[in-house]
Structure 1
């Protein structure tokens, strides 16, 4: 018996699948990015060499232990990313549909999903991305706190979380329920990254790609060409990540173990980073993030566009 998915359901399935695969492939780069971000308050200008050598030292040069170290936190990262992508894609679809119903007059409305999306303006894409981003950030913030603490420390360090469940128990025991919402403020500011990304992505997709040539042919192509997906997703990611990267860095630091020890607040953390490294400190790990984010996003949207077209 065939199960017919709604457009919302298709987005959920596509988001879960793409989030899972992308996380497994890019996890080691994500770990390096987080550890670089947490060096932003260090005045010794430590960088990639320090992070890589610390991984090797903690693993004592053993290949199996190195692999275990670079994939530390994979489980919680997988849960977080799969959940976040599924929520984001599903809510983005729902938000676009809601905005379409509110903003497009009855006589101009289409039943065809492609034409409906093409009728929206860049500002409508931005609004839909912001709505879905805020809800997703609030819902998944506890996962990111645990993820940051696991991935920022070696499994061989004393007092490091041994698992996601251990992290949840100790976080609530030591810091209370309030602890799971650490870093939420910069996370909400960082929502603009996803909103900017989807605004650029959908604007390029529906205005400048092969999909922009609308015809009445029912057999016309309804998905991007793979080459277009790679080009559009890369351009969108570079611009959006660079624009709001400081908020990602602040979020990682506020969610780290040091946040409690050093009594970080949003304001004094900004001051500490500025004193340690100046403006460049807010972009610590940006190149590692782009190195991870661009191929990650290309893979994600290649899978997303193709999975969505066949389910």
Structure 2
């Protein structure tokens, strides 16, 4: 089993677990992002209060509405992302070592290279999995098709491609912090560069926090485009494209419209990312141990005389 496949499967597993734990917050956040109330007639409510309202008015099951397609989307997205990330990362590491042998650099992948690797993996991921996420947001395949045809499944792909910067920044911060932590451990008296599950959890949380704060406005635009478009009535509720959505949001809601539900998203995404990183790394460690053990057993079996 290749290292890329191990990371892909581990990423899918970690993503599913993180999604199951944080899905109610994600449901509330999607509602906050797609809510359009330019006259501000409704009283603002927090995430917890909104969750209680959903349970009271619509039942517990609404907090998990669309969970199945979302789990499929998460598994596919994280699996594809980590698979290609590991492929691009391995090539970047080989290039860094070659440069080091030639007297350039220290042999490790730098911040810029980490950013490029994450961006490339993110672009591949978006192009392959965007149709799944459109369906997750809408939960009705037929509605998407009836409204905009086949191309409707790629609605919001432009801001989604821009959102590649989110995991790119996240992984750049994560790899940089991890490298510094391991370096500090290596230079200590113990000389051990191992990282605990709790440390992975915290590093993942910090990295996701930084990425979310920077890219949140683009995420709101993407959610608006992928949500069901309002036909008839007020034209401000219908978006023709990314630029049209941005201009209408500025004109009718002000810049605050780009930050709707940000506090909820920070809690949900930071917690989910921390869980994902921790679970994924533990699954990778376990898988590598199994592969190594099986390889050793096969080697021993072959070395025995018949």
Q: TM-score, normalised by structure 1?
A: 0.80
SS state at 1:257 partner: coil
- Aligned twin of 2:279: 303
Corresponding residue number in structure 1 for 2:76: 83
Structure 2 counterpart of 1:6, from 2, 9, 25 = 2
Structure 1 residues 62-141: aligned runs within 5 Å: 66-105=59-98, 108=101, 119-141=108-130
Q: Tell me, what secondary structure is at the counterpart of 1:44?
A: coil
| Distance of 1:99 and 1:259 partners within structure 2 | 46
In 2, the alpha carbon distance for the partners of 1:107 and 1:292 equals 40
Q: Partner of 1:285 in structure 2?
A: 261
Matched, 1:189 2:162: yes
Pairing partner for 1:230 from 201, 215, 218: 201
Q: Do the aligned partners of 1:36 and 1:48 also contact (CA within 8 Å) in 2?
A: no
Q: Deviation string for 1:131-161 (max 9, x for gaps)? A: 00011011111111111123xxxxxxxxxxx
Alignment partners' CA distance in 2, 1:179 and 1:260:
15
Q: State the distance in 2 between where 1:205 and 1:184 align.
A: 31
Deviation at 1:171, TM superposition (A): 2.0
1:250 aligns with 221
| Separation (CA, whole Å) in 2 of partners of 1:75 and 1:304 | 21
Which consecutive residues of structure 2, in runs of 5 or more, have no partner in the other structure?
233-237, 288-306
Residue matched to 1:169: 142
| Structure 1 residue 272: Cα displacement | 1.8
Q: Out of 22-31 and 93-102, give the one that drifted further.
A: 93-102
Q: CA RMSD in A?
A: 2.5
After TM superposition, give the deviation of residue 32 of structure 1 in Å. 0.6
- In structure 2, what is the Cα distance between the partners aligned to 1:43 and 1:187? 28
Task: Give how far 1:48 is off.
Answer: 3.3
> How many correspondences in the alignment?
274
Which protein shows a greater Rg? 2
Q: Distance in 2 between matches of 1:292 and 1:45?
A: 27
CA distance in 1, matches of 2:107, 2:220: 34
